[in-house]
Amino acid sequence: MEANSSRELEARNYLEKHRIMELLTYLASALLFFRPEKPREYLISILERLRIAKVSGVAFPFFMDDSNIAAMFQMLDSSNKGSISFIQYKEALKTLGLCTADEVLKDDGHGITCEKFTREVNKRTQEIWSTF
């Protein structure tokens, strides 16, 4: 029915606009990783920090900082060539939840270096969090 599908569309747009799925993924990951005794209180504390960060403009402590990103790059680049293949790069972004399956990334044929990887991960994370 027309009415139903427009509400569904509305709902999907809402999810995308506010990046709800990314937020929920982040919250669920945090819960499973840190496994606090009181899950609700923990979630509330994360959300409060997010809210304050947004209001005060302070940078929010992301899940992965630069050393984590570098470590991940090293795992992917096991033969220490200094760069990873384009496929690996795309898969890594997907695993981190930073790009969707059908997003088209440019392949400039040179392989991705560590700095480029770090820059891209930071840029995308920043994009997502700036919504909050």
Partner 1 sequence: MTRGPSDGGQQGADALHGDMDATTAPHRIPPEMPQYGEANHVFELMQNMLEQLLIHQPKDPIPFMIDHLQRDNDYVPKIVILGPPASGKTTIAMWLGKHLNSNLLSVESLIAQEYSSLAADARRHYQKFQTLPNTLLVRLVQERLREEDCVRRGWILDGIPETREQALMIQTLGVSPRHVIVLSAPDTVLIERNLGKRIDPQTGEIYHTTFDWPPESEIQNRLIVPAGVSEGETARRLLEYHRDIVRILPSYPKILKVIPADQPCVDVFCQALTYVQTMHRSNAPFTPRVLLCGPMGSGKSLQAALLAQKYGLVNVCCGQLLKEAMADKSKYGEMIRPFFEKEMAVPDNIIMKVLRQRLDQQDCVERGWVLHGFPRDRDQACLMDGLGYKPNRVFFLNVPFDSIIERLTLRRTDPVTGERYHLMYKPPPTMEIQARLLQSPKDSEEQIKLRTDLFYRNSAELEEFYGRAITLNGDQDPYTVFEYIESGIINPLPKKVP
Contacting positions for partner 1 (CB under 8 A): 10-11, 14-15, 18, 20, 23-24, 27-28, 31-33, 35, 39-40, 43-44, 47-48, 50-51, 54, 75-76, 78-79, 87-88, 91-92, 95, 132
In the bound complex, what is the minimum distance in angstroms from residue 23's beta carbon to partner 1?
Answer: 7
CB atoms within 10 A of CB 81: 10
Q: Which residues contact 64 (CB under 8 A, 6 or more apart)?
A: 72, 96, 121, 125
In the bound complex, what is the minimum distance in angstroms from residue 72's beta carbon to partner 1?
Answer: 9
In the bound complex, what is the minimum distance in angstroms from residue 132's beta carbon to partner 1?
Answer: 6
Nearest to 88 by CA among 115, 59, 51, 113: 113
Check if the beta carbon of residue 20 is closer than 8 Å to that of residue 28: no
Nearer to partner 1, 36 or 119 (CB): 36
